[in-house]
Structure formats: structure tokens, C-alpha cells
Amino acid sequence: MVGPAYPVAMDLTIKDVADRTGLSAHTIRYYCDQGLVPSVQRDSNNQRLFNEDCLGWLERVKVLRECGMSIADVRAYVHQCLRGDETLSERMELIEKYAHIADAQLLEAHARADYLRKQLAYYAQIRDGLVPDTTDISRWGRR
């Protein structure tokens, strides 16, 4: 990630962060408890306070989780990031692996969308009386 696409903000509440990221408050708390948001702070009442860095971490975690990365792998990635340049090659390998996974997921999603479009075209032909409805199982024994 290049950096968060949010305006500079300090001391955001968990509700603010949930609204900005689309993650549930429960998920945000879980990610924090798992050590995936190292920059989160606590106020005098022990409530989590988030800043711009937190939003960046959460965005990264969200994308990585959407690609299927395990919590353990995300945690390892976060720790590698915190160690700096010495882990750059490891981070690149991990991100490359999940970029390939995301590419495969995209191909699968396109295949599903193509199937659904074909089904829609077929149903339109049925509706227009061009072909019989072979998907209606109630008619299968009455041919």
C-alpha cells in the first residue's frame, strides 16, 4: 500500500474506524487483540484510540484477509514490516504469493459471472418461448 487514503485524523474511536474501513467494531477489536494494528493507543479509560497509522494497518489487514491470508501470516507480515528493510524480500515473497492467489480468485469470479450471464441468457430464451425449460424439475417426468 502506498499509504492510507484518509485525511489526517487523530484519536478516532472504534466507531469512526468502523465507518471509514467498513470493518465491524468486533473485527477491529479482534485484529487489535491479535497484534495486527501495532499503532493503536489506549486512553485513560482503556478505550482504543486510532490514528492515521491504524487506518493504514487496518486497510492492509483487510485486503490481506480478503485474499485468504491467515491471521498467523498477517501477524508475521506485520512483524516483518516493523523490523524494517531487513525483511523486505520476505515481505515481497509473501505479497507476491497472495497476489497470485488474488489473480486466481479474480479468474474464478469471472468464470462464475460468465456462468450466471449464460444462465440469464438461457432463461431469457425460455421466457421468450425459444427453448423449453429443462431446468424445471417438476416437468422432467412429463416429456
What DSSP letter does each residue of 12-36 carry, written as one string? B-HHHHHHHH---HHHHHHHHHTT-
Per-residue pLDDT at 142: 63
Q: Cα(first)–Cα(last) distance of the chain, in Å?
A: 59
Q: How confident is the model at residue 134 (pLDDT cuts 50, 70, 90)?
A: confident
Per-residue pLDDT at 1: 46
Per-residue pLDDT at 143: 55
| β-strand partners of 15 | none
What pTM was computed for the model? 0.74
CA–CA separation, 125 and 119 (whole Å): 10
Helix axes 71-83, 88-127, angle to 10 degrees: 140
Q: What count of other Cβ atoms lies within 10 Å of the Cβ of residue 50?
A: 26
Q: What count of other Cβ atoms lies within 10 Å of the Cβ of residue 64?
A: 21
Where is 90: in which H helix or E strand?
helix 88-127
pLDDT in tens, 6-51: 444 468 999 999 999 999 999 999 999 999 999 999 888 999 999 9
Q: What is the mean pLDDT of residues 65-82?
A: 94
